[in-house]
Amino acid sequence: MNPRLTNKKLVKALMDEKGIDMISIAQSTIVVQVSKNFTPAKAEELCKRLGHTNDVKAATKEGLNYMIFPRY
């Protein structure tokens, strides 16, 4: 199992990932807007590589897809 990436390392890894449209950092969460061609399988693979398997939430609002990571 991969170690869970936290805060700065997590954001850096997300910035290097293809299919990420926007990253927003709040006090307790990191919200990532993904492109429409970013499939659930790709999202699951990304979460495994980043070490976040059980604590990521997915959301859809106004046709846009988001992944929400907690900050540590």
CB 4 within 8 A of CB 50: yes
Number of structural domains in the chain: 1
In a domain, 18, yes or no: yes
Q: In this predicted model, what pLDDT tens digit does every residue of 18-69 receive, in sequence order?
A: 999 999 999 999 999 999 989 889 999 999 999 998 899 999 999 999 999 9
In a domain, 1, yes or no: no
Query: CA of 6: how far to CAs of 11, 37, 41, 61, 63, in Å?
Result: 8, 26, 22, 26, 28
In a domain, 66, yes or no: yes
In a domain, 2, yes or no: no
pLDDT band at 2 (very low <50, low <70, confident <90, very high): confident
In a domain, 38, yes or no: yes
In a domain, 56, yes or no: yes
In a domain, 35, yes or no: yes
In a domain, 13, yes or no: yes
pLDDT of 1 over the 70 cut? no
